[in-house]
Structure formats: structure tokens, C-alpha cells
Structure 1
Amino acid sequence: MPANILIIGATGVIGTPITAQVVSAKSSFGRIAILTSKNTVSSKAEVIKSLKEKGVEVLLGDLEVEADVKKAYENIDTVVSCVGRGAIEKQIQLIKWASETPNVKHFFPSEYGTDIEHNPSSVNEKPHQLKLKVRAYAKTIPKDKLHLTYLVTGPYSDLYMGKTGKEEIGTFDVKAKRAVLLGDGNGPVSFTAMADVGKLIVACIQQPSASEDKILIVNSFTATPNEILAEFEKQTNAKWEVSYTSLEKLKEVEKQAWEAGAPYATHATLRRIWTEGGTLYSKPRDNGLVGEPPMESLADQVRQVIAAQTRS
């Protein structure tokens, strides 16, 4: 039977591309619905209108209210959570309520991004704490009550290759033709384009037996900061100004950011993790388990970043 899908956090940073890919594959599915707030319907009226025009059902409710969530779960078998960091812990209740709703069979927690169980030190990383709480709770749910799939993507290449408010933690500025690279620039990082996160979610839903009760490690491509810079220079036909933030300096910036309560502290930690090799594995990626959907390349992503920064 085609999946009936509910997306929570559908208009957010990662929810938007995931929802777009699910909608693009709507012929494979039954219902596609989103659970959102009245405030979002008002503040993102054009986005909501576009989704409705594409056949998406818009359900209003508060994800902290059990009655609202369980009503949204009616006649749904697959829930895709795309909530942001501010709502990560709220997924414990979402998972609990899903496990209590017999028709809901499959839940995707919003755990796209950095692997929170990459190595023994991962448990101590500040940005991972709420995701670790959610995963610990999820392990208590019997598999006959609810299947969970974790899609671990590594950093989103779209964002890594953009401009940052704090250049010391890395930046690629197209208009200024300037880049700040992390480490010595030669450390490979595994990336997933945000659109590809959506494609991989679609592939998982279409092949539930291949993805249920699994932690899938996926990506679009792997590249070093120097390789990314070379692609920017190639596509802009210009030599860029480049500087480097060493790993030791990055650790210092990270420490100072947390001490000062700076808004970029989480990003500094994540970028330090990636620079240390926290996206790399000795085993092949799991894209093949869900049919090896076509992924974007480094060149594709650089082309899109150039276009986006040129428009802004």
C-alpha cells in the first residue's frame, strides 16, 4: 500500500527540501500532510498556499499538545520529523504518541546531520545532547509498536559552502572571492546536499523493509576544503583570496564562543568535529541499501551556491 505521510517541521531549513522531494514523488504515495501552527500559516502564507496547490494537506496544531498530534496521526502510517534544534527534545513525546497510535508504523526522527554516535567522544559533544536523549528514549520503544529510521547525512553542503557570520569558523564568499578554510584544507568531509536528504527520505519510504529499524549513514559526496575552493575558482574563473583557521585555533574559537554564549557556538563545535574527521567511516555509505538514488556532485553544489550568493 502507498504510504500516507505526515511531515512535521515542513517549512523549516531542512523540512523545506525534504517536503519538496516528497511532493515530487507524490505519485508513489497516498496522502501527504503537514502538521504546522497557525503562526506558520500566517507568516509563511505563500509557502502554505503553494503546498496546498500541490495537493498537500495542511493540518493545524501544536506539536506539544497530545490531542493535536494524535489527530494529525489519524490515517497516517509514516511520520517524517524535520524539527529544528529548538524542538529536538519534543520528539520524545512525538515518538511516544506515534507508538500509541496503531496505524503509525514508521517514524523518521529529525537527526539528519552529524553522527551523534560516530566515536566514543561523541557522547560528550554539546550539540548532540538532546539528540542523544531522543535516541535513548526511542530505544525503549518495542519494534512491534513503531519502526524508526535514522538518516545520518553529515553536514549539508549547501550551508557549509555558504557565507558565515563568523569567518573564523569557515566561509566561502562568492562576491568577495574570499574563503576561510578549516584545518590545513586537506581534510576530507562527507557532505549531503539538502535536496538529497529529501531524495534519500523518499527512497527510504518507498523501500521500508530496507530502512526500518536502521541507522543509515548516507552522503552526496566527499571533498576537502581545498577541493571545494578549487571548484569555486574554476566556476568563477578567478583566483580567490584564501586563509586558514587551524584546528587548534578553531578549538579556541569554539571554547570562547561557548563561554560567551555566542549564537555560533554550536556551529563552531560541529565544524571542529567535521574538521577532525567526524564524518568519515571505513565502511561504504548506505545509499545502496535504498536503491542508490542519484545525488548531487560537488560541482552541482558550488554552481547553486554561486547562483544564490549572486542573487542576494
Structure 2
Amino acid sequence: MGSDEKSKILIIGATGYLGKFMVKASLSLGHPTYAYVRPIKPSNDSSRLELLKEFEAMGLTIFQGELDEHEKLVAALKQVDVVISTLPIPQLLEQFKIINAIKDAGNIKRFIPSEFGNDPARESTLALFEAIHEDRRKIRRATEAAEIPHTYVCGNTFGSYFVSYLLNPHEERDEVVVYGTGEAKGISLTVILFYLLFLKFFHSDAQ
């Protein structure tokens, strides 16, 4: 690729919390930018439809399809150089489908899986969080086994993402549970929120 030629970037999860920032950043840097999104239907959330219209006006090219539609995903991948996944925590293992499609496409120069959190290779944590880390490790190992050029981005935690996406601070609740012995001399608000958020996530997921 010539020094003046921009990478063609495909973003999966483009309408999510981080995805929309990735789209805007890629476009602002002059990259031909694409998104692979769930099929657009009249019944879709209106705010999502408006966001996609805004992105199209900015120059985004949209491919519609499910991650299960392997041939559609491969066809989209064949038109780009770089794949950025910003799928949320409940969909981390869905990235196996992306990895399989990348292998079949055979042209991707860089894959950035959905990490964007604490580094599972360096951090020890409570069992509640360890399940999330284990999912991330599985995706890393699969990416490496497929010999896909990759970059892991560990940005630690995003407070506003967890508060708005998982905690739902406007909901009323009778009680909350904070883990620990109570002997710590201090604990940051971020840590407290992080624990509360994942307690909520695992509780709702179990149901």
C-alpha cells in the first residue's frame, strides 16, 4: 500500500457506544470507512436509523447483514484492509464468526478485536470479572491461531459506558451489594461502580 493511500476500514458494532466514535474518527482521518450492521428495518430504533443516515451523509458505506451470514460478511471483508470490532461484552464470543470470515477472506492486514477494557493477560480479578477476561483470552488465542495480524487495545474501563449501558442509574432499587471485607482504607468510586455494574450484568444474564 502506497504511503499516501489510506487503509480501508470496516467497523463492526458501528452504532454502539464505542463504535460511533470509531466511525467518526476514521472518517475524519480520511479513511474509506465501512460498517457491517444488522439489517435495517422500519421497526428499528429511530435513533439508530438517524445515526446511520448521519454516517452515510459523512461518507460511510454500510453493509447490511448478520454475523451468522458468513458469505455476506466475507464479501464485505474482501473490500477492506482493516477490521475493528467494537461489539459489547455480551457479544464478545460472536467474534469467532468474524475470525472465521477473516480467514476465508484472506486479505485483512489488521484485526482489532473488541477489548477496550482491562488487559486479561496482566490482571487478576474477582470471579465475576474473570468470566469476561476468559472470553477475551479465547478471542485472542483464536486470532493468534489463525495467524491474523492483530492489535489488542486495552484502554482500561470507561466509566460513562458502564454507568449508562449497564448500571441504568435512573432505575430505582432497594439495595446494592459491594464486595470486600470492609477493611480497605479507601476505594475509588470507579471501582464501586464497576462492581455494581457487573453484578447487575451477571444477574440479568443469568435470568
- Give the TM-score of the pair, scaled to structure 1: 0.51
Q: 1:46-69 deviations in whole A, cap 9, x for unaligned?
A: 111100000000111111111010
- Residue pairs, 1:130-149, within 5 angstroms: 130-142=135-147, 146-149=148-151
Provide the C-alpha distance between the structure 2 equivalents of 1:40 and 1:14, rounded to a whole number of angstroms.
22
What is residue 19 of structure 1 aligned with on the other side?
A: 23
Q: Which has the higher strand share?
A: 1
Residues 164, 59 of structure 1: alpha-carbon distance in 2 compared, 3 angstrom cutoff: closer
Q: 1:259-303 deviations in whole A, cap 9, x for unaligned?
A: x952399xxxxxxxxxxxxxxxxxxxxxxxxxxxxxxxxxxxxxx
CA contact (8 A) 2:40 2:64 kept: no
Letter in 2 for 1:153: G
| 2:29 equivalent to 1:88 | no
Q: 1:83-131 deviations in whole A, cap 9, x for unaligned?
A: 1123211211211221332321110001111221224568981222322
What stretches of structure 1 of length at least 5 have no aligned partner? 171-182, 188-223, 229-243, 266-312
- Residue pairs, 1:140-289, within 5 angstroms: 140-142=145-147, 146-159=148-161, 165=169, 168=176, 184-185=185-186, 225=189, 257=199, 262-263=203-204
What stretches of structure 2 of length at least 5 have no aligned partner? 179-183
% of aligned pairs identical? 20
Q: SS of 1:129's equivalent?
A: helix
Residues 169, 58 of structure 1: alpha-carbon distance in 2 compared, 3 angstrom cutoff: farther
CA contact (8 A) 2:74 2:101 kept: yes
Deviation at 1:24, TM superposition (A): 2.0
Letter in 2 for 1:134: I
What is residue 71 of structure 1 aligned with on the other side?
A: 75
Provide the C-alpha distance between the structure 2 equivalents of 1:97 and 1:104, rounded to a whole number of angstroms.
10
Provide the C-alpha distance between the structure 1 equivalents of 2:55 and 2:62, rounded to a whole number of angstroms.
8
| 2:33 equivalent to 1:32 | yes
CA contact (8 A) 1:116 1:122 kept: no
CA contact (8 A) 1:122 1:128 kept: no
Letter in 1 for 2:23: T
Deviation at 1:75, TM superposition (A): 2.1
Aligned length: 186
| 2:117 equivalent to 1:113 | yes
Provide the aligned C-alpha RMSD in A.
Answer: 3.5
Letter in 2 for 1:35: Y
Q: SS of 1:139's equivalent?
A: helix
